[in-house]
Structure 1
Amino acid sequence: MNKHIRVAVLFVVMQLVSSMVSPPLLLAGEVFLDEEFTSLNRWEPWAFSNIKRYSQYTLTSLDGVSCLKAVSNNSASALRLKEWFNVYDFPKLAWRFRVSNIYRKGDSSSKDGDDYPVRLYVMFRYDPENATLGERIQYELARAVNGEYPPHSSLNYIWASKDNAADIITSPFTSRAMMLPVARGRKQVGIWVEHRTNLVKDYQAAFGRNPPAMATIAVMSDADNTGESATAYIDSIRIFSK
Structure 2
Amino acid sequence: MGKRRRGLYHCQELGDSDTLSSGRTGRAAGEILLPRATGIKMNKFLIILAAVSMLSAAPLSAQMMEQGFREEFNSLTNWKPLTFPKIPRHSTYRIQKDDSKSFLVAVADRSASGIIHAGSFNIYKTPIIQWRWKISNVYQAGDEKKKSGDDYPLRIYVVFKYDPEKAGAWEKAQYKTLKLFYGDYPPHSSLNYIWANKKYPDRILPNPYTAKAQMILLQKGPDRAGQWVDEQVNALEDYRKAFGADPPREATIAIMSDADNTGEKATGYVDYIEVSPQ
**What TM-score, normalized to structure 2?**
0.71
Mapping of residues 67-82 of structure 1, within 5 Å: 67-82=103-118
* Counterpart-to-counterpart distance in 2, 1:85 and 1:117: 25
The answer to whether the 8 A contact 1:89-1:241 is kept is yes
Q: Match of 1:204, SS? A: helix
C-alpha separation in 1, matches of 2:179 and 2:260? 23
Write the letter of the residue equivalent to 1:110. Answer: K
2:75 to 30, 39, 64: 39
CA contact (8 A) 1:59 1:69 kept: yes
> Which residue number in structure 1 is paired with residue 123 of structure 2?
87
- The SS at the match of 1:115 is coil
Are residues 1:176 and 2:212 paired? yes
Secondary structure of 2:191's counterpart equals strand
Tell me whether 1:128 sits opposite 2:157 in the alignment: no
**Equivalent residue runs for 1:46-65 within 5 Å:** 46-48=82-84, 50-62=86-98, 65=101
- Aligned AA for 2:151? D
Equivalent residues in 2 for 1:126-205, closer than 5 Å: 126-143=162-179, 149-205=185-241
Identity of aligned residues (%): 46
1:213 to 249, 267, 271: 249
On the 8 A contact 2:65/2:121 being kept in 1, the answer is no
Query: What CA distance in whole angstroms lies between the structure 1 residues aligned with 2:107 and 2:124?
Result: 33
How many residues of Structure 1 are paired with residues of Structure 2 in the alignment?
A: 215
Aligned partners of 2:65 and 2:120 also within 8 Å: no
Q: Which residue of 2 aligns with 1:98?
A: 134
Q: Deviations over 1:15-62 (max 9, x none)?
A: xxxxxxxxxx978xxx52111100112111123465343211000035
* Residues 1:133 and 1:52: Cα distance change in structure 2 (over 3 Å): farther
Residue type at the aligned position of 1:46: L
Quick one: which amino acid aligns to residue 202 of structure 2? A
| Alignment TM-score, normalising by the size of structure 1 | 0.81
Q: Are residues 118 and 237 of structure 1, via their aligned partners in 2, closer, same or farther at CA, if it must alter by over 3 Å? A: same
Confirm or deny that 1:229 pairs with 2:273: no
8 Å Cα contact 1:108/1:165 also seen in 2 = no
Work out whether residues 165 and 184 of structure 1, in 8 Å CA contact, stay in contact via their aligned partners in 2. Answer: no
- Cα distance in 1 for partners of 2:87, 2:126 equals 33
Contact 2:160 2:249 in 1 (8 A): yes
Q: Distance in 2 between the 1:158 and 1:209 partners?
A: 21
Give the distance between the partners of 2:87 and 2:174, measured in 1 at CA.
21
The amino acid across from 1:80 in the alignment is I
CA shift in 2, pair 1:62/1:110, >3 Å: farther
Moved more, 149-158 or 171-180: 149-158
Pairwise CA RMSD of aligned residues?
2.2
Mean Cα deviation higher: 219-228 or 59-68: 59-68
Partners of 1:98 and 1:34 lie apart in 2 by 18
Runs of 4+ in 1 over 2 A off after TM superposition: 47-53, 61-65, 127-151
Change (3 A) 1:67 1:170: same
Q: Check 1:26–1:147 CA distance in 2 against 1; reply closer, same or farther (3 A cut).
A: closer
**Distance in 2 between the 1:88 and 1:55 partners?**
33
> Given residue 174 of structure 1, which amino acid in structure 2 is its aligned partner?
T
Determine helix, strand or coil for the equivalent of 1:116: coil
* Partners of 2:97 and 2:230 in 1: CA distance: 18
Give the deviation of 1:147 after TM superposition.
6.1
Matched with 2:50 is none
> Shift in Å at residue 142 of structure 1?
4.2
C-alpha contact (below 8 Å) 1:96/1:192 kept by paired residues: yes
